[in-house]
Structure 1
Amino acid sequence: MSLKNYLTFALLAIACPQLQAKDYRTSLFGIHSDGVTLNTRSIQYAIDFISQNGGGRLVFNVGRYLTGSIHLKSNVTLHLEEGAVLLGSLNPWDYDKKVWTAIVFAHDQQNIGITGQGIIDGRGRYIARNIVDMIHKGLIKDLFRQDRPEAETRPVLAYIRNCENVNIRGVTMQNSSSWVQIYDQCKNVAIDSITVDSKAYWNNDGIDIVDCDGVTVTNSYIDSDDDGICLKSHDASKVCRNVLVRNCTIRSSANGIKFGTASYGGFSNIKIYNVKIFDTYRSAVTLAAVDGGFVENVIVDSLKAYNTGNAIFFAHWGKGKREERENGKCEHFQYVCGGTCYQARCRL
C-alpha cells in the first residue's frame, strides 16, 4: 500500500467512529469550570461512562477545568470548545506515572481524540517548581541532574501509548513542564491544525512520535523550547514509519524537525512537505541515527528555513558508537551533507 493510500485509510478510520458519536456535557457529571475545584475523578468517571455506553464526546464549555491525571478510553473524544481550558494541577501528587507522568494518558485504546478550539495548559513552570520542592524534601526520588527533575517526572500534556486511530485536532497545547505530547507505538494518528506554545521549562519538545506507524502532522504551528517535531525510535525491534509532516510552521530553540536522538530501531517512509522553520539555533531538519538504527526513504520538499544553524544535518554512528561516545571512547562520528561523507571529532 502506498503512503498516500495508507494515510487516506488512516484518516477515514479515524473519522468513521466519530460519525455516530454522542455529545455529553461536562455539567452532566458534576465537573466544575471554576479553575479551583479538582475534577480528576469526575472527568475520569465521565470518560469511563461514555466508553462503556457506546462512545462519544465529552464536551467542555467555556471555563477552566482543574485536573490531575486522566485516562482516555476507547471511543471517547475530549472536545474543548473555544474558551475551555483543561488546567493541570500544581500538586505533584495529583498525577499518575506510567513510564511518563502526564495530564492525559491513553494506553492500549482505540478511536480516541482531543479536539476543539480550547486549550490544555500544563502550567509547567509552577508544577516543576513544586516537584523540585518535593525532591529537596526527599519525598520524590529523582536523579535531579543539572538542578532539574528528570523529564519523566514532570507531567507532559498527553502520553498516548499503543493506541490506534488517534485524532488530535484544533486544540492549543501550552506550558508543559516536559515534552508536550508523546505518541508511542501508535497506529493511525492524525494531528491537524493544532497550536503548540511551550516554553515554560526544559525538554519542551512540541510533538514526539515514537516508533509509530501512520502519522500525519498537518497545518499546525509549533513554538517550543526544544525540538519542534521529534521522531524517535526507542525500541531496537520497532520502526518509526509512514509519517507525513505537511504545511506546518515551527519555531524552536533546538531543531525544527529531528530524527532521534533515540534511534535504536529506525525511520522509514518519512515525508516532509512545505514546512517553514525559523529562529532555531541548531538545524531546520536533523536526521540523527546514532544508536545503530537506520534511516531510509525520506523526502524533504519545499522546506523554508530562516535564521537556522543548518538547513539539513545528518549524523550517523554505527551500532555501539553512542555508548562509546558517552563513555569518552569514541574518536569520531560520521555526518553526511550534500551527498558527501565527512569525519569529525566527537564533541564530548
Structure 2
Amino acid sequence: MNKLATILFLCLALTTAGFCHKPTGVWDAFAYGAKGDGKTMDTQAIQTAIDQCHASGGGRVYLHNGTFLSRTIYLKSNVTLFVEAGTTLLGSANVNDYPSTASKYPAYGGELVTEKMFIYAEDARNISIAGRGTIDGRGDDFNGPYLSPSFSGRPRILHFRNCENVQVRDITLRNSGSWVQFYQSCRNMVIDGITVDSRENKDIEKSRHADAKGRNTDGMDLVDCQIVRVSNCFINSGDDAICLKSLSPGESCRDITITNCIVSSNASGIKIGTETSGAVEDITVQNCTVFDTRVDAISVMTVDGARIERINISNISVRNVKGTAIFVRLGARNRTYRKNTKANTGFLKDVLIENVQGTRIGGYGCSITGIPGFPVENITLKQIRLRFDGSNKPLLSDDDTRKPVPIAPPPANPLVPEKIDAYPRGEMFGRLPAYGFYIRHGKNIVLDNLSLDYADEENRPAIVADDVDALEINQLKAKPSPNVPALVQLKNVRNSPNMPKSN
C-alpha cells in the first residue's frame, strides 16, 4: 500500500470511529455518536467533540435538533459549546453522575475540589457557551437541604474557575440543582442576552418555601472576577439574582458593569456582598429592573473583612419588594473561606446610588449602617423616589431559619440592635424606626432630592439618623405621619450645619 493510500485508509478508519473531522470549524455531536433522544446518555459523544475541537485548535461544538442527556461536561480552551434554538442539553437525574474531583483551586469552604457541576471549566481560555437553546439542570430531581453547594451534593449548571476570555450568550439556563452560574477568579468575561429560569417557589405572595424546598439557586455569582460585562439578561431565581462576592482575602471583584438587566428573586435582586473577604471595587450597575423580590432590591455590604469602594448604581426601577429597596451595611461577621487565613478589617465607602424609583416596598424601612467605630463613608443617594407599604401591613419575614411566615405588624423598635456579626439582609433589624431611611454609624452621608411616600397608615418619621458625622439632606419630599412630630429625627449627628439640632 503506497503512502497516499495509507493516509486515506487511516482517515476512513478514524471517520468510522468518529474521530476524523473535516476542517469546517464545527464539531457536530451527532457525528460522534450522540443520539439526541433525551434518553440515551450522550456525554461521551459531546465530550469527545469538545476534546477533538480543542485538540484541533478550536471551533464550535454543535448541538441541534434534539435533547441531549448528559453527565458532567468539561469545557476546554478555544471551544464554543453552541446549543441551537429548540435544542436542550439535559442534565442527568442521578447526582452520582456529577463527580467531585481534586482541583488546585479552593472551593467555597476552602477544600481543593471541583464539587458538583454540569458544565465545568478550569484554567481555560477563549471559551463560550452560546445559542438560543436551553441547558436544563434537572434541579427538581435532586433532594437536599437548603445549604451551600459545598455541603448539599446538588450540582450547579455552570462553574468556571480561573478562566480568561469567557462569553456566555443568548442561552437559557433553567431548573438548576444549586447555584445556576458560579464564576470564580475569571477575567475578561461577557455575559449577554441570557435567560435564567430557576425559581422553585414562584409565587412571591406565599412564604418562601411554601411549595418546594429551597435549593439556593443563585442566578449569577461573580466571585473574585475582573473585567466583566453583564448585559441584557433576564434572571428569575430562587435565591439572589445577581451577586458579587469575594472568597479570598488577596483577591477582588473589580471592573464590572451590569446593565439593561431584569431580575426577580426569592432573595435579593442586585447584591454586592454577603461573602466578602477580599475587595469589591469599581462596579457600575445601571438601567435595570427589579420586581417580585423577597429580600432587598439593591444591597451593598461587607461583613467578612472586604474593602468595598467606588460603587455606582443608577437608573433602577423597583416593584413589589417584600424586604426593602436599598440596604447598605458594614458588619463584622468575619467568616473565612480559605484555610489558615484571617479576616481583614473591612470598610465600605464611596457609594453612589441615584435615579431609583420603586413602589410596593415592604414596611421594614431602608438602612445605611456601619458598626461602632467603623462607619460607612461617603454614601450618596440622589434622585430617589420610593413608595412603601406602611406600618399597618404585615411583614413577610424571611429570617435565617429559612422558614418565613407572615407576621402581625409589630411596632418599630426604637432601640435597634447592632447585630455586628449577623448575616446581612434588609430585614435583619426588624421594623426600623424610620419608614424611609435609617442611618447609623456613618460619615459623609448625602441624601439629595428624595421623595418618600407610603400607601397605608404609617407611625414613623421618614428619616432617622444616629451617630452620623456630616449628614446632608437636600430637597426632601416626604409624606408625614400624623403620629410623629417631625419628618426627620436626629441623634448624635455632628458637623451638619444644614440639619436641625440633634437630640
Determine if the TM-score, normalized by the shorter chain, exceeds 0.5.
yes
Equivalent position of 1:5 in the other structure: none
In structure 2, distance between residues paired with 1:313 and 1:148: 24
Residues 246-301 of structure 1: per-residue CA shift (max 9 Å, x gap): 00000011110112211000101100010000111211111120001011111101
SS of 2:30's equivalent in the other structure is helix
Say which structure is richer in strand. 1
Equivalent position of 1:151 in the other structure: 149
Amino acid across the alignment from 2:66:
G
Amino acid across the alignment from 1:301:
S
In structure 2, distance between residues paired with 1:277 and 1:336: 25
Amino acid across the alignment from 1:151:
P
1:117-196 matches, within 5 Å, as 117-126=132-141, 128-129=142-143, 132=144, 147-148=145-146, 150-152=148-150, 153-196=153-196
- Structure 2 CA distance for partners of 1:322 and 1:87, relative to 1, 3 Å: closer
2:389 is the counterpart of 1:316: no
SS of 2:295's equivalent in the other structure is strand
In structure 2, distance between residues paired with 1:288 and 1:250: 19
Number of equivalenced pairs? 303
Equivalent position of 1:27 in the other structure: 30
- Structure 2 CA distance for partners of 1:235 and 1:31, relative to 1, 3 Å: same
In structure 2, distance between residues paired with 1:241 and 1:51: 30
Equivalent position of 1:116 in the other structure: 131
In structure 1, distance between residues paired with 2:234 and 2:300: 21
After the TM superposition, which of the residue ranges 206-215 and 193-202 deviates more from structure 2?
193-202
In structure 2, distance between residues paired with 1:319 and 1:91: 36
Match of 2:234 among 206, 221, 236: 221
- Structure 2 CA distance for partners of 1:186 and 1:104, relative to 1, 3 Å: same
Equivalent position of 2:77 in the other structure: 74
Residues 190-217 of structure 1: per-residue CA shift (max 9 Å, x gap): 0000000002341010000000011111
Equivalent position of 2:121 in the other structure: 106
SS of 1:273's equivalent in the other structure is strand
Contact 1:170 1:193 in 2 (8 A): yes
Deviation at 1:21, TM superposition (A): 8.2
Unpaired runs of at least 5, structure 1: 1-19, 133-146, 324-331
Unpaired runs of at least 5, structure 2: 1-22, 101-112, 201-213, 338-368, 382-414, 424-503
Match of 1:210 among 213, 223, 234: 223
Equivalent position of 1:138 in the other structure: none
The two structures have a TM-score, normalised by structure 2, of 0.57
Residues 112-134 of structure 1: per-residue CA shift (max 9 Å, x gap): 010000000011020x13xx5xx
Say which structure is richer in helix. 1
The two structures have a TM-score, normalised by structure 1, of 0.82
In structure 2, distance between residues paired with 1:258 and 1:247: 16
Structure (1 or 2) with the larger CA radius of gyration: 2
Equivalent position of 2:282 in the other structure: 269
Match of 1:295 among 304, 308, 329: 308
Contact 1:313 1:336 in 2 (8 A): no
In structure 2, distance between residues paired with 1:34 and 1:279: 37
Amino acid across the alignment from 1:313:
F
Residues 114-165 of structure 1: per-residue CA shift (max 9 Å, x gap): 0000000011020x13xx5xxxxxxxxxxxxxx4565232110010000000
In structure 2, distance between residues paired with 1:321 and 1:121: 33
In structure 2, distance between residues paired with 1:26 and 1:297: 46
